[in-house]
Amino acid sequence: QVQLVESGGGSVQAGGSLGLSCAASGYTGSNVCMGWFRQAPGKERERVAVINMYGATNYADSVKGRFAVSKDNAKNTLYLQMNSLEPEDTAVYYCAATLLYAGSCLNRGREDFGYWGQGTQVTVSS
């Protein structure tokens, strides 16, 4: 069973930076697609950034040029570096993974990711 544990959330002023980490366990090798989703109060959970088993990435338009997703296969850890944060980035951020769509996940929605972390709060104040 894949388990995901996020860390690194917190509060920051607009224009600041934060980094998130997601430690994964319960699978072997690098045949996994992982990503970050977020959910703001009253809104649906949306995809933020995804990285597939080949290292290719896909970002939501709202975070392009500001956020960077990366994965350390040796440590089974996913990262999200968030720069130039805006109040609109305030949300609970979730780490997610799929083994089934490890190579074809870049444009898939949250329903295709079968494993989820517990979430970590990111708050950006103006």
Angstrom CA distances, 80 to 1, 21, 115, stand at 23, 7, 17
**Average of per-residue pLDDT across 106-114:** 94
Residue in 96, 7, 6 with CA at minimum distance from that of residue 52: 96
**Average of per-residue pLDDT across 1-12:** 95
Confidence of residue 96 (pLDDT cuts 50, 70, 90): very high
pLDDT at 49 over 80: yes
Confidence of residue 117 (pLDDT cuts 50, 70, 90): very high
Structure token digits, residue 72: 């350390």
Whole-angstrom distance, CA of residue 111 vs CA of residue 67 = 23
Whole-angstrom distance, CA of residue 91 vs CA of residue 111 = 19
pLDDT at 94 over 90: yes
**Average of per-residue pLDDT across 84-110:** 95
Q: What is the 3-state secondary structure (H, E, C) of the chain?
A: CCEEEEECCEEEECCCCEEEEEEEECCCCCCCEEEEEEECCCCCCEEEEEECCCCCEEECHHHCCCEEEEEECCCCEEEEEECCCCHHHCEEEEEEEECCCCCCCCCCCHHHCCEECCCEEEEEEC
